[in-house]
Amino acid sequence: MKSLSSSLTPLANRAKVDADFDAAVFDYVQHKKSKAGPTMDLYGPCVARVAWTLCRTIDWTHQHHEQTYDIMASQKVAWDKKKEWTNQAVKIYLARNKDVARSVAPLDVTLRRAACLMKPYFTYYRTYYPKSNSEAWVARWWHPAVYEAQMIGGNGAGQDSAVNQVNRTMFARVYPNRPQRMILSRELMPRYPRISPESANIFDNLHLLHGLAYDILSYEGWTEQQRDELHRVIAAMSYQPGDEKYTRKFDLPYPDVDPRRHPAWMAGPEGGLFILAVALAGTLAGTLALPTGLGSYGTDYGGTFILTKSILPMLGLHRLHTNLVYRHNSQPQARLEEGEPRLERQDYWALRAGYPARILPLTLLMLDFVREQRPLSGQLGSSIEVSLRRQMNPRMVLSIGGAAGAGTDADKYRANVAIQQSF
């Protein structure tokens, strides 16, 4: 563990490392060719020692990439047999190395299972290594573009010409105007999923796993929790019995797209994955409050609906959030207010809206406005809250802050301390 921790890039050096890696990758892609697909442990020996399952997952799915490219390219496989051969390749992929095979269900399903959109580490890599991340998104464009060029070109010289045009487009138009998101298979290769939606979904699940692994590995140091989170995400996005029922559960927004061209929508931040993220951005969190202190009775429970929206994606990790909070008072009590008995509410709500500003790599400054029903019937309060959220590890966040109330019903001042643990 110590050797990996010492080999990870300190965040203080991220800008130089990001620029150097971006330049090295672009130079290699432009001027060199690999005669064989290298395995993960060749370029990532430290990661292979502590996250071997991740390396096996990527290597095995890259093998499926290679097989399906070969099926599409081979003139020995008649065009009307491409689907049959591709389906056989999918069966082999799922039957061998079952523990690391990616799901044949679309991201609409597996992204829910992974439940990573509200994790503290989500988008960490693209925020702190934007140039390197954009190299990955160019690759996510190239993979489906080649499949679609093979479909357009058919067997023979037409396919060679179409693939060469894709490569020229990559250098002439895609690299100068790199995608600002991971382009999904359904967006860029609508023809290939008609042959094998299973294979198309496998690739989307692998490509998103790449990004999540980059997020987790971008931290300084190394902990067992990071490895546990990697393994949790790998398992969540893996093939599970019954996934075949969802294989075709996605639309094709650009059914006639030509990958040899590069329309403006391909470079923008909004697209298939963005739409999925918006659909899944709402998260529910439960709370349980035990009685503490004088005048506290019963065990109360509640829940929070959390909705987030990314803004200004080109400038980093900026989000607005709105939370709807519900609390249930299991044992309402009567209190004296100005000499009159008042009964506590049994159920009450709060609405909070705010903006988190990242002031340090692992620390957010949170600014929130809160409008809430007070525990006593008939009372409403408003407050401004300021807090610091420090990420202690990939799944735990410590929050410390305070609030100043506005109006007669609100608390004049309030201090908050909280620990958030993701599972």
By 3-state DSSP, what share of the chain in percent is helix, strand and coil, each rounded to 5? 45, 25, 30
Task: Give the model's pLDDT for residue 271.
Answer: 64
Task: Give the model's pLDDT for residue 4.
Answer: 52
Q: How far apart are the first and last CA of the chain?
A: 23
Task: Give the model's pLDDT for residue 342.
Answer: 76
Classify residue 21 as exposed, middle or buried by CB count within 10 Å of its CB (0-12, 13-18, 19+): middle
Task: Give the model's pLDDT for residue 244.
Answer: 92
Phi, psi for 261 (deg, rounded to 5): -110, 170
pLDDT averaged per 10 residues in sequence order, the chain, 423 residues: 56 88 93 83 86 94 95 95 96 94 92 79 85 93 95 93 96 93 90 93 95 86 79 93 88 89 82 58 60 62 74 60 84 73 81 82 83 82 89 77 84 85 66
Give the SS3 label for residue 333: coil
Task: Give the model's pLDDT for residue 124.
Answer: 83
Task: Give the model's pLDDT for residue 132.
Answer: 94
Give the type of residue at 384: I
Task: Give the model's pLDDT for residue 3.
Answer: 47
Radius of gyration for the chain, computed over Cα atoms and rounded to the nearest angstrom: 25
Give the type of residue at 38: P
Task: Give the model's pLDDT for residue 298.
Answer: 65
Q: Is the dihedral of CA 151, 154, 159, 162 positive or negative?
A: negative
CA distances from 189 to 62, 67, 135, 179, 361 (A): 18, 17, 20, 16, 37
Could you tell me the two tokens for 11? 């965040």
DSSP 8-state assignment for residue 315: G
Task: Give the model's pLDDT for residue 2.
Answer: 45
H-helix or E-strand containing 402?
A: strand 396-406
Question: CA-CA distance, 364 to 119, in Å (whole number)?
Answer: 14
Task: Give the model's pLDDT for residue 219.
Answer: 72
Task: Give the model's pLDDT for residue 222.
Answer: 67
Task: Give the model's pLDDT for residue 295.
Answer: 58
Could you tell me the two tokens for 73? 């390219």
The domain locations on the chain are 2-279, 282-421
